[in-house]
Structure 1
């Protein structure tokens, strides 16, 4: 039983690391360098000149969301002994956040690419129309990203409770995951209620999520679990 749990935990850690790397590449590097907020002209130019990279960003996100569906089930199996109901709810919220909402939201990423294309359906409307529609789709993608973050924040909150109560993991990871949940929730509701502070809120969630999720991922990779059940 001990080896099976450790192997399952390490597999979860490997997949979690892949998600962090893939999502970091697509959101942090691809969209972070190509999409310039409030500058449709530069954004359109960047998408056209970096089309392959922009497409890779979409694929990277899609792969991350598919892997996240597996992580959701693995975390449920690891933590259902703590509280089966909470573990199931946490799993559902993670499935809704990225495999569901996040995947559908990639349509906005794809439509921005189609709109920006010189041979696409919008090319006959003129460059200004292309710029406006491209930015509209990217803004819609950002809003969808925030909506998914609210669901993921609830998942992190419930995951934190489960980790704190579990004998398999140090309680500190439960505390850190709850802090990560606060970061995600603050980013989502802060952006919708108080627009204009996106940079500050993104830094808050980046810091809190990095501490919580990365530290937990490293523990899963290195140690797996703390003790047997």
Structure 2
């Protein structure tokens, strides 16, 4: 084996290891993403502070687990932005950092929003004034924080949708994954974009939400499985840069 072949073999091994590490990060995202999303959905009743407070206090440990789950979730999102950039920078020297930037903006937005959840929890578990007015005031503030987080999270997912669209383009260009899978990632991003932009303006019917978000589930889970099982396909020739 000559020096060129040895170098290529080393690069292929490194790319596959990086891809599988990214797949493991996707597992973290899936597990903690479901935990955090389901926890908030289970307790938040828009417009009803009393019921929302009762839900939080009635499932306190689940809510706390959801709060803590945001930490590994955000860390994994930042790490995935970095690993995908490392995998795809050859396919798009300009597009790859832009793609990573949109995911980092999404993660940074979450960092700014999550403290509202902790504040809401502390308001509801505060041993402050026991009067009816004092309790009602804390419940109203907590509800406002939870609803504000919910709206902000939808806005953050718009950036995430842009990230997925660009990521799908890079994956298709790189040849690391099948074209169908890259197309599903683009469809997932488009679904996030339409669903969350529309959701910020109007209440979407459940069937329409399901239609828009199904590609995201298929695309992201498919990507996770492919990265874990197959790693990446390394083309025999480097792709032309995508600017």
TM-score (norm 2): 0.86
Deviations 1:24-58 (A, max 9, x none): 11112x11212223332211011122222212111
> CA-atom RMSD, angstroms?
2.0
Q: Is the 8 A contact 1:13 1:220 kept in 2?
A: yes
Q: Which residue of 1 aligns with 2:240?
A: none
Whole-Å Cα distance in 1 between the matches of residues 191 and 111 of structure 2? 22
Query: Could you list the per-position Cα deviations for residues 113-153 of structure 1 after superposition, in whole angstroms to 9, with x for gaps in the alignment?
Result: 12212415898842322332221111101011011101101
Q: 1:213 to 1:123 in 2, by over 3 A?
A: farther
Moved more, 105-114 or 214-223: 105-114
d(CA) in 1 for partners of 2:175 and 2:189? 21
List gaps (5 residues or longer) in structure 1: none
Cα offset, 1:107, TM superposition: 1.3
Task: Look up the match of 1:25.
Answer: 35
Q: Which is worse superposed, 213-222 or 171-180?
A: 171-180
Q: Which runs of 5+ in 2 are unaligned?
A: 1-10, 237-243
Q: Determine if contact 1:108/1:137 at 8 Å carries over to the other structure.
A: yes
Residues 122 and 130 in structure 1, CA contact (< 8 A), matched pair in contact too = no
Instruction: Please list, as runs of the form range in 1=range in 2, the aligned pairs for 1:72-151 lying within 5 A after superposition.
Output: 72-98=81-107, 100-120=108-128, 125-151=133-159
Partner residue in 2 for 1:68: 77
**Count of equivalent residues:** 226
1:218 to 200, 203, 225: 225
Q: Report the CA distance shift for 1:205/1:109 in structure 2 as closer, same or farther (over 3 A).
A: farther
Which protein is bigger by CA-based radius of gyration? 2
Of stretches 139-148 and 127-136 in structure 1, the one that deviates more from structure 2 is 127-136
Equivalent-residue separation in structure 2 for 1:162 and 1:9 (angstroms): 14
Cα separation, 2, equivalents of 1:209 and 1:121 = 45
Contact 2:195 2:213 in 1 (8 A): no
- 1: CA distance, partners of 2:132 / 2:46: 25
Matched, 1:208 2:218: no
TM-score for the superposition, normalised by structure 1: 0.91
